[in-house]
Amino acid sequence: MSTINPRSTFLEQLRTTPIWDIVIIGGGASGLGAAVEAASRGYKTLLLEAHDFAKGTSSRSTKLVHGGVRYLAQGNIGLVREALRERGLMRKNAPHLVHDMSFVVPAYDWWAGPFYGVGLKMYDLLAGKLNLGGSKYLGKEETLRHTPTLQGEGLRGGILYHDGQFDDARLAVTLMRTVLDHGGVTLNYLPVTGLLKEEGKVCGATARDSESGQEFTVRARAVVNATGVFVDQIRRMDEPGARDMLSPSQGVHVVVDKRFLPGDSAIMIPRTEDGRVLFAVPWHDHVVIGTTDTAVPHASLEPRALPEEIEFILRTAGQYMNPAPTRADVKSVYVGLRPLVKAETSDGVGSTAQLSRDHVLRVAPSGLITLTGGKWTTYRHMGEDAIDRAAEVGALPTRLSLTQGLRLHGWTETPEAAPLDVYGTDAAHLRQLAGAETALHPELPYLEAEVRWAARCELARTVEDVLSRRTRALLLNARASEQAALRVAQLLAEELGHDAHWIATQVAQFRELARGYQLDAVAEPDLSASS
């Protein structure tokens, strides 16, 4: 069976390895991408994550692998071209997780079809040989065949184009497994508590195991700070007076039943009242609708939606979808924070809609390498840039990048049916486990065997790890995931050797978390204030 070494083995490697080539702090998209890059080049690689892999922003995206139509409208041709190229590589390297999806841009004005059609033809051209499919104009009837719940009144037609879709947290787990496949070490629940320095240069880190409290001192030739919206916290371990690099922005998504978009095509609303685009995307037999762009003063691990953000999403969706989703239809609401990099002269929070999504790589005088910005689609290129720089800083032997054509763990072009499709070739092994025929909950598409697999093979340590990121239960149906928590805790306790007190604590913690993903936790906006 395709299993990995237990966590205790990795902790022993921390104790016994005198020096690592590269230590990466952060287990989200950028950190895992850098770790795959480093390990596949043969560098001795260690990744340390304070919580769980993809705990933050990297599990809360719009689930799109895309060039960014909005960035094309802003004139950022370079970013769009890079992202479209990386989109094609992602699909080649992880076809069990990344696939083509058709998108419909509805046209209700006479000029909308030609206007958006020209822009999307440019999108096709920028993708080149890695394009997923050509865009084309649709008449009204054909538009409604693709997206039957679009508002038909006043509809003139639409433009069909292609982009990619994926499961973000499952890709993160796949990247973690790929690091291990190439001899690297990854550890969650091991926060970095400080940086080691010699003669003013960063030469490693101290870390603490959240489970045992044990302290570790880790030496390294190069250290990469890839902690997403939290990079400034690590930077201040190096330079206590360092100014913030980021202006975080939050994006809210609501998840509703598949009946609100029963076809296989997504809807892209090209210009909302705040100048953004809004997507309604089929995902795991549900529909994700989002997103918003709201500046926040500081980053938090569990950001919460504002009442006006929910109202904006539902109001905008209701202008285009029939039936219109209401608050009562929302099965889950989740929030991700964007690590938007400030302009060098900027001090304030201000508007974040125009800040660049390009990634930024900075090397401090101490040699600490900080990687931030960017987005999931460009994770591989971000990792390549970071490890090129880390090799220079750490005086490591130069080795060429292999990741453009690197097949990720579980690679297959013939995956099994859902829910096991996201496991790729591991699905056959998972089917051999107890509970492979037992549903975890009647309203969730998951099996009890997936909990055992998550504990044995994917470093899952908590009920949240399983219900939020190894499966996507929390995002698909927060109330059902709350009800499934006890059974998940019992299965994890069997696998990890925990007692009844641990089970009770885990269930209570998860249920408190899950309530924050239910719309009951988000007050309705006070509309009287604006009337």
For 236-281, the pLDDT digits (tens) are 999 999 999 998 999 999 999 999 999 899 999 988 887 778 999 9
Residue 346: is its pLDDT beyond 70? Answer: no
- Residue 196 in any domain: the answer is yes
Structure token digits, residue 265: 């095509």
Distance CA 102, CA 110 (A): 22
Q: What is the pLDDT of residue 111?
A: 64
Residue 325: is its pLDDT beyond 90? Answer: yes
89-117 mean pLDDT? 87
- Residue 358 in any domain: the answer is yes
Question: With contact defined as beta carbons under 8 Å apart, do 471 and 450 qualify?
Answer: yes
- Residue 252 in any domain: the answer is yes
The pTM score is 0.94
**Of 318, 338, 358, which residue constitutes the final position of a domain?**
338
How many structural domains comprise the chain?
3
For 363-373, the pLDDT digits (tens) are 999 999 999 99
Same domain flag for 143 and 252: yes
Same domain flag for 156 and 204: no
- Residue 184 in any domain: the answer is yes
Same domain flag for 179 and 191: yes
Q: What is the pLDDT of residue 2?
A: 42
Q: What is the pLDDT of residue 4?
A: 53
- The domain that holds 23 is classified in CATH as 3.50.50.60
DSSP per-residue string spanning 86-123 = HHHHHHHH-TTTEEEEEEEEEE-STTHHHHHHHHHHHH
Q: What is the pLDDT of residue 374?
A: 87
- Residue 325 in any domain: the answer is yes
Summary mean pLDDT of the chain: 91
For 373-424, the pLDDT digits (tens) are 989 999 999 999 999 999 999 999 999 999 999 999 999 999 889 999 999 9
Same domain flag for 307 and 438: no
DSSP per-residue string spanning 497-530 = T--HHHHHHHHHHHHHHHHTTSGGGSPPP-GGGG
Q: What is the pLDDT of residue 353?
A: 40
Neighbours of 277 (CB within 10 A): 16
Same domain flag for 238 and 254: no
Residue 352: is its pLDDT beyond 60? Answer: no
Least confident of 187-196, 356-365, 490-499: 356-365
Domain of residue 515 covers: 433-519
Higher per-residue confidence, 525 vs 2: 525
For 500-513, the pLDDT digits (tens) are 999 999 999 999 99
